[in-house]
Amino acid sequence: HSGNDLEHCFFINHDKTGCSCSVYRSLEKKLIVLSFRGTCAPKDILTDASIVQEAWVTGEDVKEPGIPKVHAGFRNSLDSVSRRLKELLLAAVAPGEELADYDMLVTGHSLGGALSTLFVADIAEFGVDAGRSLPQLAPSEAWWKGIATTFMAKGQEALNASPPPPPRPKTLRVYNFGSPRVGNDAFCDKFSNFLKDGRIDEAYRIVNGDDIIARNPRTMNALAFGSIGYEHCGPTVLISDNNDNGDGDDDSSCGPAIWVEGETDDKMCPVRDGAALKSPLAEGSLLGDLYSATQESLAEGKDDEQKEGGAGDILAFASKIGSAAGKVKDRLSTVSAKDLTSVVGIDGDFTQREVKIIQSLMSGDAITQHLEDKYYAGMGRASGFVAVPGEDIVEMKDASA
Protein backbone atom coordinates (compact mmCIF):
# COMPACT_ATOMS: atom_id res chain seq x y z
CA HIS A 1 0.00 0.00 0.00
CA SER A 2 3.03 2.30 -0.29
CA GLY A 3 2.22 3.43 -3.82
CA ASN A 4 4.15 2.95 -7.06
CA ASP A 5 6.22 6.09 -6.53
CA LEU A 6 7.82 5.34 -3.16
CA GLU A 7 11.13 7.19 -3.18
CA HIS A 8 14.03 7.77 -0.85
CA CYS A 9 14.03 11.38 0.37
CA PHE A 10 17.05 11.60 2.65
CA PHE A 11 19.31 9.83 5.13
CA ILE A 12 20.38 11.46 8.37
CA ASN A 13 23.27 10.26 10.54
CA HIS A 14 25.10 11.56 13.59
CA ASP A 15 28.83 10.80 13.58
CA LYS A 16 29.26 10.63 17.36
CA THR A 17 26.15 8.76 18.46
CA GLY A 18 25.68 6.71 15.29
CA CYS A 19 21.95 7.46 15.26
CA SER A 20 20.69 7.05 11.69
CA CYS A 21 17.33 7.32 9.95
CA SER A 22 16.16 6.99 6.36
CA VAL A 23 13.01 8.74 5.18
CA TYR A 24 10.85 7.70 2.21
CA ARG A 25 7.70 9.18 0.72
CA SER A 26 4.93 8.39 -1.70
CA LEU A 27 3.23 11.43 -3.19
CA GLU A 28 0.63 9.13 -4.74
CA LYS A 29 -0.43 7.66 -1.39
CA LYS A 30 0.57 10.74 0.63
CA LEU A 31 2.71 8.56 2.87
CA ILE A 32 5.95 9.30 4.75
CA VAL A 33 7.97 6.39 6.13
CA LEU A 34 10.78 6.74 8.67
CA SER A 35 13.12 3.80 9.25
CA PHE A 36 15.62 3.96 12.12
CA ARG A 37 18.74 1.87 11.76
CA GLY A 38 19.43 -0.87 14.30
CA THR A 39 22.61 -1.88 16.09
CA CYS A 40 25.47 -2.25 13.62
CA ALA A 41 28.52 -0.51 15.12
CA PRO A 42 30.48 -0.61 18.42
CA LYS A 43 29.04 2.76 19.46
CA ASP A 44 25.55 1.29 19.04
CA ILE A 45 26.43 -1.57 21.41
CA LEU A 46 27.46 0.97 24.04
CA THR A 47 24.13 2.73 23.57
CA ASP A 48 22.24 -0.55 23.99
CA ALA A 49 24.22 -1.70 27.03
CA SER A 50 23.33 1.20 29.29
CA ILE A 51 20.46 0.63 31.72
CA VAL A 52 20.46 4.07 33.37
CA GLN A 53 17.26 6.08 33.00
CA GLU A 54 16.64 9.79 32.74
CA ALA A 55 13.52 11.94 32.63
CA TRP A 56 11.68 11.78 29.29
CA VAL A 57 11.09 15.53 29.54
CA THR A 58 14.36 17.38 30.11
CA GLY A 59 14.12 19.51 33.22
CA GLU A 60 11.83 17.23 35.19
CA ASP A 61 13.19 15.83 38.44
CA VAL A 62 14.01 12.19 37.81
CA LYS A 63 13.65 11.50 41.55
CA GLU A 64 10.02 12.60 41.65
CA PRO A 65 7.58 9.65 41.81
CA GLY A 66 5.47 9.10 38.73
CA ILE A 67 7.87 10.88 36.36
CA PRO A 68 8.08 9.22 32.92
CA LYS A 69 11.65 7.97 32.54
CA VAL A 70 13.40 6.37 29.57
CA HIS A 71 16.64 4.60 28.73
CA ALA A 72 19.33 7.30 28.82
CA GLY A 73 21.33 5.80 25.95
CA PHE A 74 18.35 5.59 23.61
CA ARG A 75 17.21 9.12 24.45
CA ASN A 76 20.67 10.64 23.98
CA SER A 77 21.03 8.88 20.63
CA LEU A 78 17.69 10.16 19.30
CA ASP A 79 18.27 13.61 20.78
CA SER A 80 21.34 14.00 18.54
CA VAL A 81 19.28 13.94 15.32
CA SER A 82 15.67 14.59 16.26
CA ARG A 83 15.50 18.34 15.63
CA ARG A 84 17.16 18.17 12.23
CA LEU A 85 15.07 15.14 11.32
CA LYS A 86 11.86 17.03 12.08
CA GLU A 87 13.01 20.06 10.07
CA LEU A 88 13.57 17.85 7.04
CA LEU A 89 10.28 16.03 7.56
CA LEU A 90 8.43 19.32 7.31
CA ALA A 91 10.09 19.87 3.92
CA ALA A 92 9.33 16.34 2.65
CA VAL A 93 5.77 17.11 1.57
CA ALA A 94 4.92 18.17 -1.96
CA PRO A 95 4.79 21.93 -2.75
CA GLY A 96 1.50 23.43 -1.63
CA GLU A 97 0.67 20.48 0.65
CA GLU A 98 0.87 20.15 4.43
CA LEU A 99 2.07 17.43 6.76
CA ALA A 100 -1.54 17.01 7.91
CA ASP A 101 -2.29 15.59 4.44
CA TYR A 102 0.14 12.69 4.95
CA ASP A 103 0.08 9.40 6.83
CA MET A 104 3.26 8.70 8.78
CA LEU A 105 4.70 5.24 9.45
CA VAL A 106 7.72 4.84 11.73
CA THR A 107 9.69 1.60 12.00
CA GLY A 108 13.02 0.14 13.01
CA HIS A 109 14.75 -3.06 14.14
CA SER A 110 16.56 -3.58 17.46
CA LEU A 111 18.01 -0.20 18.54
CA GLY A 112 16.04 1.30 15.65
CA GLY A 113 12.86 -0.08 17.18
CA ALA A 114 13.58 1.67 20.46
CA LEU A 115 14.29 4.97 18.69
CA SER A 116 11.09 4.69 16.65
CA THR A 117 9.07 4.26 19.86
CA LEU A 118 10.57 7.37 21.44
CA PHE A 119 10.18 9.44 18.27
CA VAL A 120 6.51 8.50 17.91
CA ALA A 121 5.84 9.33 21.58
CA ASP A 122 7.24 12.83 20.97
CA ILE A 123 5.20 13.41 17.78
CA ALA A 124 2.03 12.04 19.39
CA GLU A 125 2.17 14.45 22.30
CA PHE A 126 3.68 17.59 20.78
CA GLY A 127 3.42 17.28 17.00
CA VAL A 128 6.45 17.80 14.76
CA ASP A 129 8.03 20.45 16.97
CA ALA A 130 11.20 21.35 15.08
CA GLY A 131 11.91 24.15 17.55
CA ARG A 132 13.73 21.72 19.81
CA SER A 133 14.98 18.16 19.76
CA LEU A 134 13.17 16.01 22.35
CA PRO A 135 10.63 17.14 24.98
CA GLN A 136 11.82 19.76 27.47
CA LEU A 137 10.34 22.03 30.13
CA ALA A 138 12.10 25.06 28.64
CA PRO A 139 10.16 26.82 25.85
CA SER A 140 10.89 25.67 22.32
CA GLU A 141 12.05 27.99 19.59
CA ALA A 142 9.58 28.59 16.77
CA TRP A 143 9.10 25.17 15.16
CA TRP A 144 8.86 26.73 11.71
CA LYS A 145 11.99 28.90 12.03
CA GLY A 146 14.38 26.51 10.32
CA ILE A 147 12.02 25.55 7.54
CA ALA A 148 11.05 29.18 6.88
CA THR A 149 14.58 30.51 6.59
CA THR A 150 15.82 27.52 4.59
CA PHE A 151 13.03 26.88 2.10
CA MET A 152 10.92 30.04 1.89
CA ALA A 153 11.82 33.03 -0.22
CA LYS A 154 10.09 35.32 2.24
CA GLY A 155 11.57 33.67 5.31
CA GLN A 156 11.74 36.80 7.42
CA GLU A 157 8.08 37.58 6.82
CA ALA A 158 7.23 34.08 8.01
CA LEU A 159 9.36 34.57 11.11
CA ASN A 160 7.41 37.70 12.00
CA ALA A 161 4.05 36.00 11.60
CA SER A 162 2.02 34.54 14.44
CA PRO A 163 3.22 30.92 14.84
CA PRO A 164 0.64 28.13 14.47
CA PRO A 165 1.00 25.00 16.65
CA PRO A 166 3.41 22.29 15.43
CA PRO A 167 1.80 20.26 12.63
CA ARG A 168 0.74 16.64 12.97
CA PRO A 169 0.51 13.92 10.35
CA LYS A 170 -2.90 12.70 9.24
CA THR A 171 -2.25 9.35 10.92
CA LEU A 172 0.65 8.07 13.03
CA ARG A 173 1.67 4.40 13.18
CA VAL A 174 4.69 2.55 14.53
CA TYR A 175 5.69 -1.05 13.81
CA ASN A 176 9.00 -2.04 15.35
CA PHE A 177 10.91 -5.31 15.25
CA GLY A 178 12.97 -6.83 18.08
CA SER A 179 12.83 -3.60 20.07
CA PRO A 180 14.27 -3.51 23.57
CA ARG A 181 12.23 -1.89 26.32
CA VAL A 182 12.58 1.88 26.40
CA GLY A 183 10.96 3.26 29.55
CA ASN A 184 9.34 2.84 32.94
CA ASP A 185 5.69 2.20 33.76
CA ALA A 186 4.84 5.92 33.75
CA PHE A 187 6.24 6.36 30.24
CA CYS A 188 4.46 3.25 28.97
CA ASP A 189 1.19 4.44 30.52
CA LYS A 190 1.62 7.73 28.67
CA PHE A 191 2.21 5.83 25.42
CA SER A 192 -0.89 3.68 26.04
CA ASN A 193 -2.97 6.81 26.56
CA PHE A 194 -1.83 8.12 23.17
CA LEU A 195 -3.17 4.90 21.64
CA LYS A 196 -6.47 5.20 23.51
CA ASP A 197 -7.12 8.82 22.55
CA GLY A 198 -6.09 8.35 18.91
CA ARG A 199 -2.93 10.41 18.87
CA ILE A 200 -1.18 7.16 17.88
CA ASP A 201 -3.33 5.21 15.44
CA GLU A 202 -1.46 1.89 15.63
CA ALA A 203 1.54 0.55 17.52
CA TYR A 204 2.82 -3.02 17.41
CA ARG A 205 6.04 -4.55 18.75
CA ILE A 206 6.93 -7.57 16.64
CA VAL A 207 9.00 -10.18 18.50
CA ASN A 208 10.50 -13.27 16.87
CA GLY A 209 10.54 -16.42 19.00
CA ASP A 210 12.94 -16.27 21.95
CA ASP A 211 14.62 -13.01 20.91
CA ILE A 212 16.43 -11.94 24.10
CA ILE A 213 16.87 -8.29 23.10
CA ALA A 214 13.10 -7.78 23.11
CA ARG A 215 13.07 -8.96 26.73
CA ASN A 216 15.59 -6.40 27.97
CA PRO A 217 16.49 -4.19 29.81
CA ARG A 218 15.05 -5.89 32.87
CA THR A 219 13.48 -4.30 35.90
CA MET A 220 16.08 -4.44 38.64
CA ASN A 221 17.22 -3.10 41.99
CA ALA A 222 20.93 -2.28 42.24
CA LEU A 223 23.03 -0.40 44.77
CA ALA A 224 24.73 1.60 42.02
CA PHE A 225 21.57 2.72 40.22
CA GLY A 226 18.71 2.23 42.67
CA SER A 227 15.39 0.82 41.47
CA ILE A 228 15.14 0.76 37.66
CA GLY A 229 11.91 -0.33 36.04
CA TYR A 230 11.32 -1.15 32.38
CA GLU A 231 8.13 -2.10 30.57
CA HIS A 232 6.97 -2.55 26.98
CA CYS A 233 5.10 0.06 24.95
CA GLY A 234 2.21 -1.09 22.81
CA PRO A 235 0.85 -4.59 22.21
CA THR A 236 3.18 -7.45 21.32
CA VAL A 237 3.01 -9.46 18.10
CA LEU A 238 4.75 -12.83 18.37
CA ILE A 239 6.04 -14.51 15.22
CA SER A 240 8.25 -17.53 14.54
CA ASP A 241 10.78 -18.09 11.80
CA ASN A 242 10.62 -21.91 12.03
CA ASN A 243 8.89 -22.33 8.68
CA ASP A 244 11.18 -24.50 6.60
CA ASN A 245 10.86 -28.27 6.46
CA GLY A 246 12.34 -28.56 3.01
CA ASP A 247 9.24 -28.69 0.83
CA GLY A 248 7.61 -25.32 1.34
CA ASP A 249 5.22 -26.65 3.97
CA ASP A 250 4.82 -24.89 7.29
CA ASP A 251 6.08 -26.73 10.35
CA SER A 252 3.11 -26.37 12.68
CA SER A 253 5.07 -27.85 15.58
CA CYS A 254 6.68 -24.45 16.20
CA GLY A 255 3.35 -22.91 17.21
CA PRO A 256 1.04 -20.30 15.69
CA ALA A 257 2.44 -18.26 12.81
CA ILE A 258 1.32 -15.07 14.56
CA TRP A 259 -0.06 -14.13 18.00
CA VAL A 260 -1.30 -10.63 18.82
CA GLU A 261 -1.52 -9.52 22.44
CA GLY A 262 -5.07 -8.64 23.42
CA GLU A 263 -6.52 -9.86 20.12
CA THR A 264 -5.68 -13.54 19.55
CA ASP A 265 -6.74 -14.58 23.08
CA ASP A 266 -6.62 -13.31 26.66
CA LYS A 267 -3.32 -14.95 27.62
CA MET A 268 -0.61 -12.86 29.20
CA CYS A 269 2.16 -11.80 26.84
CA PRO A 270 5.18 -14.07 27.48
CA VAL A 271 7.58 -11.24 26.57
CA ARG A 272 6.47 -9.18 29.56
CA ASP A 273 7.98 -9.89 32.99
CA GLY A 274 4.76 -9.85 34.96
CA ALA A 275 4.94 -9.90 38.73
CA ALA A 276 7.81 -11.90 40.19
CA LEU A 277 6.22 -12.05 43.64
CA LYS A 278 2.82 -13.47 44.42
CA SER A 279 0.99 -14.44 47.57
CA PRO A 280 1.80 -18.09 48.45
CA LEU A 281 -1.94 -18.50 49.08
CA ALA A 282 -3.03 -17.10 45.71
CA GLU A 283 -5.52 -19.10 43.65
CA GLY A 284 -3.79 -21.78 41.60
CA SER A 285 -0.72 -22.06 43.83
CA LEU A 286 0.03 -25.25 45.75
CA LEU A 287 -0.58 -23.76 49.19
CA GLY A 288 -3.54 -21.81 47.85
CA ASP A 289 -5.22 -25.01 46.65
CA LEU A 290 -4.52 -26.74 49.96
CA TYR A 291 -5.85 -23.79 51.92
CA SER A 292 -9.04 -23.54 49.84
CA ALA A 293 -9.71 -27.26 50.14
CA THR A 294 -9.16 -27.14 53.89
CA GLN A 295 -11.53 -24.22 54.30
CA GLU A 296 -14.19 -26.02 52.27
CA SER A 297 -13.82 -29.19 54.33
CA LEU A 298 -14.04 -27.32 57.60
CA ALA A 299 -17.19 -25.58 56.41
CA GLU A 300 -18.90 -28.83 55.38
CA GLY A 301 -21.52 -29.94 57.84
CA LYS A 302 -20.92 -26.95 60.06
CA ASP A 303 -24.62 -26.41 60.61
CA ASP A 304 -25.04 -30.01 61.84
CA GLU A 305 -21.98 -29.93 64.01
CA GLN A 306 -22.51 -30.88 67.65
CA LYS A 307 -20.16 -29.88 70.38
CA GLU A 308 -18.74 -33.12 71.61
CA GLY A 309 -15.90 -31.59 73.61
CA GLY A 310 -12.44 -33.02 74.29
CA ALA A 311 -11.23 -35.82 72.06
CA GLY A 312 -14.38 -35.76 69.95
CA ASP A 313 -13.62 -32.30 68.62
CA ILE A 314 -10.03 -33.28 67.89
CA LEU A 315 -11.05 -36.40 65.96
CA ALA A 316 -13.65 -34.48 63.96
CA PHE A 317 -11.13 -31.82 63.07
CA ALA A 318 -8.55 -34.45 62.04
CA SER A 319 -11.16 -36.12 59.84
CA LYS A 320 -11.85 -32.88 58.05
CA ILE A 321 -8.12 -32.27 57.51
CA GLY A 322 -7.86 -35.73 55.99
CA SER A 323 -10.78 -34.92 53.71
CA ALA A 324 -9.03 -31.74 52.60
CA ALA A 325 -5.88 -33.67 51.74
CA GLY A 326 -7.94 -36.06 49.64
CA LYS A 327 -9.35 -33.22 47.60
CA VAL A 328 -5.87 -32.18 46.47
CA LYS A 329 -4.43 -35.70 46.16
CA ASP A 330 -4.04 -35.46 42.41
CA ARG A 331 -2.49 -32.01 42.81
CA LEU A 332 0.07 -33.28 45.32
CA SER A 333 1.00 -36.23 43.10
CA THR A 334 2.00 -33.89 40.25
CA VAL A 335 3.96 -31.22 42.12
CA SER A 336 6.17 -29.27 39.69
CA ALA A 337 8.97 -26.73 40.00
CA LYS A 338 6.31 -24.10 39.40
CA ASP A 339 4.45 -25.31 42.50
CA LEU A 340 7.57 -25.33 44.63
CA THR A 341 8.44 -21.74 43.78
CA SER A 342 4.88 -20.67 44.57
CA VAL A 343 5.35 -21.93 48.14
CA VAL A 344 7.93 -19.20 48.78
CA GLY A 345 5.87 -16.50 47.05
CA ILE A 346 7.44 -16.55 43.56
CA ASP A 347 4.91 -16.48 40.72
CA GLY A 348 4.98 -19.78 38.82
CA ASP A 349 4.44 -18.24 35.39
CA PHE A 350 7.29 -15.83 36.07
CA THR A 351 9.52 -18.79 36.94
CA GLN A 352 8.62 -20.59 33.73
CA ARG A 353 9.41 -17.52 31.64
CA GLU A 354 12.78 -17.08 33.36
CA VAL A 355 13.66 -20.74 32.81
CA LYS A 356 12.75 -20.45 29.13
CA ILE A 357 15.03 -17.40 28.76
CA ILE A 358 17.93 -19.34 30.29
CA GLN A 359 17.27 -22.30 28.01
CA SER A 360 17.14 -20.08 24.91
CA LEU A 361 20.42 -18.44 25.91
CA MET A 362 22.10 -21.82 26.32
CA SER A 363 20.80 -23.02 22.96
CA GLY A 364 21.78 -19.82 21.16
CA ASP A 365 18.20 -19.11 20.01
CA ALA A 366 18.03 -15.98 22.20
CA ILE A 367 20.60 -14.25 20.00
CA THR A 368 20.07 -15.82 16.56
CA GLN A 369 16.34 -15.12 16.64
CA HIS A 370 17.09 -11.40 17.03
CA LEU A 371 18.80 -11.20 13.64
CA GLU A 372 17.10 -9.39 10.76
CA ASP A 373 17.01 -12.44 8.49
CA LYS A 374 15.10 -14.35 11.18
CA TYR A 375 12.53 -11.56 11.37
CA TYR A 376 12.28 -11.63 7.59
CA ALA A 377 11.53 -15.35 7.73
CA GLY A 378 9.10 -14.91 10.61
CA MET A 379 7.13 -12.16 8.85
CA GLY A 380 7.03 -14.34 5.74
CA ARG A 381 5.59 -17.23 7.71
CA ALA A 382 3.03 -14.95 9.38
CA SER A 383 1.93 -13.85 5.89
CA GLY A 384 1.73 -17.39 4.53
CA PHE A 385 5.08 -17.56 2.74
CA VAL A 386 8.44 -19.23 3.13
CA ALA A 387 10.84 -16.28 3.08
CA VAL A 388 14.59 -16.88 3.01
CA PRO A 389 17.02 -14.01 2.37
CA GLY A 390 18.49 -14.25 -1.13
CA GLU A 391 15.86 -16.69 -2.36
CA ASP A 392 12.48 -16.37 -4.05
CA ILE A 393 9.50 -16.15 -1.72
CA VAL A 394 7.45 -19.36 -1.86
CA GLU A 395 3.80 -19.56 -0.91
CA MET A 396 3.07 -22.17 1.76
CA LYS A 397 0.82 -25.03 0.80
CA ASP A 398 -1.17 -24.47 3.95
CA ALA A 399 -1.03 -20.71 4.56
CA SER A 400 -3.47 -21.01 7.46
CA ALA A 401 -0.94 -22.92 9.60
**DSSP codes joined into one string, 129-154:** -TTSSS-BSSPPPPTTHHHHHHH-TT
Residue 17, classed as helix, strand or coil, is coil
Q: How far apart are CA 128 and CA 362, in angstroms?
A: 44
Q: How far apart are CA 365 and CA 267, in angstroms?
A: 23
For the ranges 5-19, 84-98, 230-244, 316-330, the lowest mean pLDDT is seen at: 316-330
Q: Is the pLDDT of residue 246 over 90?
A: no
pLDDT value of position 382: 92
Question: pLDDT tens digits for 312-355?
Answer: 565 565 555 555 555 555 545 555 555 544 444 445 565 666 66
Within 10 angstroms of residue 130's Cβ, the number of other Cβ atoms is: 26
Nearest to 233, CA basis, from 220, 214, 219: 214
Nearest to 232, CA basis, from 249, 267, 207: 207
Per-residue pLDDT band for 373 (boundaries 50, 70, 90) equals very high
Question: pLDDT tens digits for 218-241?
Answer: 776 544 455 678 999 999 999 988
Q: How far apart are CA 281 and CA 250, in angstroms?
A: 43
